[in-house]
Amino acid sequence: MSILSLKSVSKSFGALTVTDDASFDVLQGQALGIIGPNGAGKSTLFNLITGNVRADGGSIHFEGRDVTRASAMERCLIGIGRSFQIPQPFEKLTVYENLLVAATHGRNLSEAIVRDDCADILERTELIRRANVPAGRLSLLERKRLELARAMATQPKLLLLDEIAGGLTEGECQALIRTIKDIHARGVTIIWIEHVLHALTSVVERLLVLDFGKVIGLGDPEEIMASREVQEIYLGIEV
Amino acid sequence: MAYSVTTQTPASRIAAIAGVILISLLIALPFFAGRGTIQDMFFILTMLVLAQFWNLLAGYGGLVSIGQQAFVGTGAYALFGVVILWGVDPVPAIFCAGIAALVIAVPTAFFAFRLNGAYFAIGTWVIAEVVRLLVAQWKMLGGGTGTSLPRDATRDMWFIESIESTLGLRSAAARDVLAYWLALVLALATIGGIYWLLRTRRGLALAAVRDNTEAAKSVGVDAGRMKWIVFLTSAFGTGLAGGLIYMQKARISPDAAFSVTDWTAYVIFIVVIGGIGTIEGPIIGVLVFFALQTLLADFGSWYLMTLGVLAVVVMLVAPRGLWGLLSEQTGLHLFPIRRRLTGGKLASSEE
Amino acid sequence: APSIAQGAKIRLGYVSPQSGPLAAFSDADQFIIDGFLKSEAGANFEVIVKDSQSNPNRAAEVAKELIVDDEIDMMLVASTPETTNPVATTCEAEEIPVISTVAPWQPYFIGQQGNPGDPDSWRPFDYSFHFFWGLEDVISTFTSMWNQLDTNKSVGAIFPNDGDGNAWGDPNVGFPPVLAGKGYSLTDTGRYQNLTDDFSAQINAFKAANCDIVTGVPIPPDFTTFWTQAKQQGFNPKVASIGKAILFPQAVEALGDQGHNLSSEVWWSPTHPFTSSITKQSAGELASRYSSATGNQWTQPIGFVHALFEMAADVMGRVDDSRNPDEVAAAIAATQLNSIVGRIAFDGIGLPPFVAANVAKTPLVGGQWRMREDGSYDLVIVDNSDHPDIPTNGTMEEIS
Amino acid sequence: MAPLQTPLLKTNGLVAYYGDFQALFGVDIELDVDETVAIIGANGAGKTTLMRSIAGILRNAATSVSFDGRPIGAQPADEIMTQGVAMVPEGRRLFPSLSVEENLLIGTYGRKSRGYWTLDTVYDLFPILRERRNNPGTALSGGQQQMVAIGRALMSNPRVLLCDEISLGLAPVVIKDIYKAVPAIKAAGASLIVVEQDIAQAMAFADRVYCMMEGRVTLSGTPDTLSRNDIHDAYFGASQ
Amino acid sequence: MIWVDTVIQGILLGGLYALFASGLSLVFGIMRLVNLAHGDLIVMGAYLILVLVTILGLSPFLAALIAMPVMFCLGWVLQKFLLNRTLGDDILPPLLVTFGLSIALQNALLETFSADSQRLPTSALTTASVQAGPVSLGVMPLLTFGSAILVIVALNQLFYRTELGRAFRATSDDPTTASLMGIKPANIFATATGIAFVIVTIAALYLGLRANFDPNIGPARLIYAFQAVIIGGLGSLWGTLLGGVIIGVAQTLGAAINPEWQILAGHFAFLLVLLVRPRGLFPRAND
Ligand SMILES: Nc1ncnc2c1ncn2[C@@H]1O[C@H](COP(=O)(O)OP(=O)(O)OP(=O)(O)O)[C@@H](O)[C@H]1O
Ligand SMILES: Nc1ncnc2c1ncn2[C@@H]1O[C@H](COP(=O)(O)OP(=O)(O)OP(=O)(O)O)[C@@H](O)[C@H]1O
Ligand SMILES: [Mg+2]
Ligand SMILES: [Mg+2]
């Protein structure tokens, strides 16, 4: 059963078409990777799915429901969680409070009920020691972890991750992969935009390639990666 | 392994104890203070209420309104209306004042929320003007001339008799005491209510929306509803304060009740001087404002000029206000809202 | 023995608009108060002056301060309902005697009633007293001025939506019923807001009704706007009898040569045949002293502010305990004073019964502004039909 | 490798903050006369921050940036630009209220421009712009907008041109068009610092490459001395 | 026929409002600065002209010409050293600072000139009129309207035909990038405010010739000016004129029905336009 389905979704900013007639389905429980050159429209695609940006045309269905016109808040409440590529923490709130906002509002629960859950997520994302620090004081890496942690706190059915592995050391990267695999293993559907290919391919089952807002490939990661077209477009390096 | 959450700090515990003592003192004030003090305190408390609600609106909700006089005026006129035309006792009529302001706030919000930033500010101002002009057409309450509360109504207010006999006061002084106690209740309820709101998950959401609206929406915060809650709450509270202020004045006219200077500009001044976005700020601000007024009011235009210049200077030198300066230096919070996670893995190594 | 003999000074509170848009009313305050305190009667008094900043909120606040903090024995307040009413309301509630002036008695009295529209609900005051004239006097003065000329008796009115305008235009106690009774037709387009920028609607209506006469009680900027537009749009009435706006010579001078022969009610002038009960000065002497002390032309409020202090001296001279509000109030009610603005007595002469206890009337005559060679203006009294004891020094002229 | 004369432009322990957040941790780079330097690095590495610091949008200690031997780190952007350091900002940032030609002309604001670049020579460099000169800048395609942004910077006849991600979001053909202009720009007397995510592109045209990660320079050298693995490590932290 | 007259008088009144609003529109459009002291600045301009008239015995028009450079410098200094420091995303600092300025200015004028209402010396022109068919048009209102148009044409020329105008637009779009082009946004803003003050002087001239002014009359004028700017759309000068005319005509039409509704009608027109077009009639594409 497909949990998310896009049909002919398009979006332009002025004269620039950033999403061009994109159609694809994501199955329940799947992990989908998205790759594509800078500016290909990957983040915009996320924004369209989460409702931070409204589509110019086409439709988006989540769990069979048409959510094309739903607000970002509504989509969060029905189970779409996300991280931002450029981390957007609530800077004046502490790390723990950042999660608390997400857990109490994203799941409509009281603070007391979600407390241990939030602490658990902080432990898993290795932010627990920074729990009481204002998020504005975090380093880039910690901010990225916070993005992931906050998205997890809303307990999404579909989790969208936008470049959270960039700049990690190998050890950190492995830890991140474990965390994501763990989330995935709990039945959460994942869509992950990532330039760090080895990390991506070690988690995802399918790979989507985006170029100039168009879906130019979707399928088994190895096959996709092997295609010469993708290698050229994406890496820009002749292999 | 168990985690727990606390918002208290040692400073806040001391503050809480001091607060309880202060509140007891304030309640007992009429038993030992003169009328002058009681009236000054009434002024301070009602301005504080207005300031807290404007602060809630602008400091926490990001809604910079310059039309709060619409709610003061509406509340005040509603009080006069139900007292004069329906013969309601002024004390319960204060509640009607709040309700009336709330009723006006709904269409106001519907309109003003279509506007952003500076447009919102000016939109609220124009709406306040519209309400003023409409009220000025209300001939039964004197139109542009204004009207006074009937003496019978103010003499026989609820509680007056018992205050007169308990404190042994003349009726005018008893009315002051009653108004003071009502203002005290309103101010405490306002501060308590706002503090409570900030400590609930809605308060957390307010802070999140203020920091980053897009991200807040993406974690399920209903930013639109937060705006409504904040706007309606502050309209209601401002209306209550308006009713109470004019119950005490006993005389009203549209120009006075809808004065942008008295009910919005001075209030903004109080909040900004004290420190916007904090509960402590308006408290400090109102004390400074009162001190200035007491010292300088007899200098007429020089007083106002000083006030204007001071507003400019504070905004440039200390944009976070006096409390902002103080808490930056000392980390002091009298009304802490930061939730600190303790226990579990944090037990051994507190950051 | 009168309290004056007892040594302790009697405390008077005085509130007036010393700053803000109404400040012109208070130009003479300092001069009058200084004069009063220097006089023999004044030596027993202490006067605490507060500025209402032309703001009714502020007026009520300072009144409270005077009563509570300064513990005054009696309040004096002057100039426009915007100042007198909040102060008087406060004093009435505080049970402190108050004497007010410089506001027609209708806006003073009716304006302080809960429901101005319902005469049955009106109540007299216990501590609040007022001396001035009433609308019936303006109407009478204006109509007898108009009767000096040959007009078609069609009157256009500009009444704003404020204390004065609502009283003047009131269908029961204002201009409309009386004018109708005297055979004038009135074109009243409705209460406009102060600081209106355009009067074409009124001018068109007046033109349509072919009005020879214009009357009203606008604030100065509005009258200038109205009058200039009227000229621009070809509306040239023979008479313009205007209250409030052309009270002060500066306001008339602002009209340039368009101020010539505008007419107005005159409550006080240097030619009024009255003398001060404290200083024994005549009206003319008071006015010329003022002019030489300040360099300003005399204005009408001078006499009335002075009379306020005459009242204070007179009343307090007749009480035993100035700190007893009831005794002071009773003394005020019993006043029979020949002051610089005429006789003041709360005897109900010329007044309806419901205000008889609180209001004393002073004489009113009609005057016209005449331009001098140098462009400044003189106020000439042209009608004294209601008070023949006040001499005229000219007759009514048409606006050319 | 290091040139003996003082470099044209040099940063010296450059740091940068956004509020509490530190984005640069002591960056040292150099640019010599007639040289082209490329800066590569993953998203968020701090490349744009570096460019903004040099151009004066982010202020710094005076000595942290020197140009022609003079400290300019503390000067505001407009003064740095008038001395001859121009920037093509990330995302082009054309002025939407201005036409193409006006966008170009703004590059000469308040000065008599003396040098090779004029409206005519810029139009010669990017002929398509001549045709579109009366259109609003924002009505152009991404590549054309990038041309305007470059032209706008050239109009001031800079000695140093900073280009932040000029190929971002552009089709390969368009990128080729834009890079074709580089020799002409150099010939007219400008040295270049180019931020480029496309490693191959960077390797192809730069004299020297700096690789950044998390606010630090992690690798530098000439393209021929750098192996793909070095770059990969410097780029992502470590290899598989 | 009365209706024609009513509308025409409304249009002319709109010219006055547009004149009050143009300076505001310029400043609001270029730097998003909400200047609550604008009304008081116009009053200050009127006093400046009055002083020049009284001391030098000039005609008001000549005095205004002399006042202009003085006002320009004043505006330049005010923006450069005070208002520039309040610019940013937060709208509160400019609101509070200009409000403080407004109060300080009002009371400084009060101390200096007293509360008496003043007027610039009148001449035959004040009450002169021309007959257009059945409608009698005041020369002064026509002059006011003409000046409003002239001001707007001149500003448009400045904006779209000069280097300075280009810099204005560029800085307004994006001050950071403008600074990369060698523009000092602080100076551009100061110059813009200087020019706005010149327009303020023109508005002051007509304010003072038309009717009385006193130190407290500013804020009442400010609200109409704001309405004209907002109805017109941010940064659109012709829009500001249209906005002024809409408010003016709404007021005269409202008054023709009943003077009680005169000012309310203007406010309602404003609310109605915003309800339909929250960004005004001619919004800029990129805000
Ligand atoms: N709000 C916006 N307004 C205008 N243009 C935008 C907006 N958001 C994105 N764009 C443009 O759309 C294009 C695609 O942006 P997007 O962020 O989706 O790319 P991406 O594939 O995520 O790139 P990256 O790998 O760099 O993150 C870019 O050219 C960008 O400049
Ligand atoms: N205005 C800002 N406020 C706060 N943080 C910022 C701001 N601009 C950039 N950052 C942060 O500073 C870091 C470096 O950003 P910078 O834009 O310099 O990176 P970059 O290398 O240019 O990345 P990209 O390839 O995406 O352009 C990033 O973590 C970014 O999130
Ligand atoms: Mg992206
Ligand atoms: Mg960058």
Instruction: Express each pLDDT in C346-371 by its tens digit.
Output: 998 889 999 999 999 999 999 999 99
Interface test with E, best of B66, B115, B126 (most E CBs within 10 A): B126
pLDDT at B166 over 90: no
Determine the distance in angstroms separating the CA of E70 from the nearest CA of chain D, rounded to an integer. 24
Q: Per-residue DSSP letters for A52-99? A: SS--SEEEEEETTEE-TT--HHHHHHTTEEE--SS----TTSBHHHHH
B208, closest residue in chain A (CA to CA): A90
pLDDT of residue C96: 93
CATH of the domain at D128: 3.40.50.300
| Whole-number percent of chain C with pLDDT over 70 | 98
In a domain, residue D4? The reply is no
Query: In chain A, where are the structural domains located?
Result: 1-79+156-239, 87-154
Does ligand 1 come within 6 angstroms of the Cβ of A39?
yes
Read off the tokens for A236: 């820009």
In angstroms, the CA B226 to CA B202 distance is 8
| Pocket mutation for ligand 1, best pick of D141, D164, D168 (most atoms within 8 Å of C-beta) | D168
pLDDT at B226 over 80: yes
- Hey, what CATH topology would domain A1-79+156-239 get? Rossmann fold (3.40.50)
- Tell me how far the alpha carbon of residue B74 is from its chain's centroid: 15
User: Which residue, chain included where needed, has tokens 């109805």?
Assistant: E231
SS3 label, residue C368? strand
pLDDT of residue B1: 57
Does ligand 1 come within 6 angstroms of the Cβ of A42?
yes
pLDDT of residue E118: 83
pLDDT of residue D235: 65
Q: Is A91 at the interface with chain B, CB within 8 A?
A: yes
Determine the distance in angstroms separating the CA of B341 from the nearest CA of chain A, rounded to an integer. 7
Q: What is the arithmetic mean of pLDDT over A198-219?
A: 88
In angstroms, the CA B27 to CA A48 distance is 57
Residues 38-67, chain B, touching C (beta carbon < 8 A): 39, 43
Q: Count up the domains in chain D and report the number.
A: 1
pLDDT at A233 over 80: no
Q: What is the arithmetic mean of pLDDT over B127-154?
A: 86
Helix (H) or strand (E) holding A111: helix A111-124
CA angle at E247 for the pair E244 and E253, rounded to the nearest 5° = 135
A39, closest residue in chain D (CA to CA): D169
Mean pLDDT of chain C: 90
Q: What is the arithmetic mean of pLDDT over B251-257?
A: 89
- Tell me how far the alpha carbon of residue E255 is from its chain's centroid: 23
> Which of A71, A122, A131 is opposite residue B217, by nearest beta carbon?
A71
In angstroms, the CA B199 to CA D198 distance is 49
pLDDT of residue C203: 94
ipTM value, please give it.
0.85
In angstroms, the CA B128 to CA E264 distance is 11
In angstroms, the CA C355 to CA B12 distance is 60
pLDDT of residue C5: 47
Instruction: Give the bridge partners for C51, in sequence order.
Output: C16
**Positions of E strands within chain C:** 10-16, 45-51, 74-78, 98-101, 128-132, 154-158, 185-188, 213-216, 239-242, 263-266, 336-339, 342-345, 359-361, 365-371, 377-383
**Positions of E strands within chain E:** 129-132, 135-138
> Whose atoms come closest to the Cα of A45: which ligand?
1
In angstroms, the CA A82 to CA A162 distance is 8
Instruction: Give the bridge partners for A5, in sequence order.
Output: A25, A61
CA within 13 Å, CB half, B100: 25
E40-93 pLDDT tens trace: 999 999 999 999 999 998 899 999 999 999 999 999 999 999 999 988 888 888
pLDDT of residue C1: 36
Name the stretches of chain E with pLDDT < 70.
1, 285-287
Helix (H) or strand (E) holding D163: strand D160-164
Find the distance separating the first CA and the last CA of chain E, reported in whole Å. 43
In angstroms, the CA C171 to CA A42 distance is 74
pTM strictly above 0.95: no
pLDDT at C70 over 60: yes
Phi-psi region of C133 (alpha: psi -120 to 50; beta: other; left: phi over 0): beta
- The number of residues in chain E equals 287
In angstroms, the CA E63 to CA E43 distance is 15
Q: In the structure, what pLDDT confidence band is assigned to residue A224 with cuts at 50, 70 and 90?
A: confident
One-letter amino acid of C28? A
pLDDT at B198 over 70: yes
Does ligand 1 come within 6 angstroms of the Cβ of A19?
no
**Which chain B residues have a beta carbon less than 8 Å from that of A92?**
207, 210-211
The sign of the CA dihedral B198, B202, B204, B209 is negative
In angstroms, the CA B114 to CA B122 distance is 12
Q: Is B201 at the interface with chain A, CB within 8 A?
A: yes
**Which of the given ranges, A9-23, C306-320, E127-141, has the highest pLDDT on average?**
C306-320
In angstroms, the CA A83 to CA C209 distance is 75
CATH of domain E2-114+142-276: 1.10.3470
Residues 254-273, chain B, touching C (beta carbon < 8 A): 255-256, 259, 261-262
In angstroms, the CA E96 to CA E98 distance is 6
Contact predicate B5/A115, CB 8 Å: yes
Does ligand 2 come within 6 angstroms of the Cβ of D23?
yes
Q: What is the pLDDT along chain D (240 residues), one digit of tens a residue?
A: 444 567 899 999 999 988 777 889 999 999 999 899 999 887 778 899 999 999 999 988 888 999 988 999 899 999 999 899 999 998 778 898 899 999 999 988 877 767 889 999 999 999 888 988 888 877 777 788 888 999 999 999 999 999 988 877 666 667 777 888 888 999 988 999 999 877 778 888 899 999 888 889 988 888 888 777 777 666 655 443
B299-313 pLDDT tens trace: 767 888 888 888 888
Does ligand 1 come within 6 angstroms of the Cβ of D91?
yes
Full domain range(s) for residue D93: 9-235
pLDDT of residue A239: 34
Instruction: Give the bridge partners for A59, in sequence order.
Output: A7
Q: Is E107 at the interface with chain B, CB within 8 A?
A: yes
One-letter amino acid of E158? L
Q: Is C57 at the interface with chain B, CB within 8 A?
A: yes
Instruction: Spell out the residues 6+ positions from residue B241 whose beta carbon is closer than 8 angstroms to its own.
Output: B46, B49, B50, B53, B72, B75, B186
**Which chain A residues have a beta carbon less than 8 Å from that of B203?**
none
pLDDT of residue D113: 65
Q: Per-residue DSSP letters for E204-224? A: HHHHHHHS-B-TT-HHHHHHH
Q: Per-residue DSSP letters for D7-66? A: PSEEE-SEEEEETTEEEEEEE--EE-TT-EEEEEE-TTSSHHHHHHHHHTSS---GGGEE
CB atoms within 10 A of CB C372: 8
Q: Is A136 exposed, middle or buried (0-12, 13-18, 19+ CB in 10 A)?
A: middle
CB atoms within 10 A of CB B107: 10
pLDDT of residue B15: 87
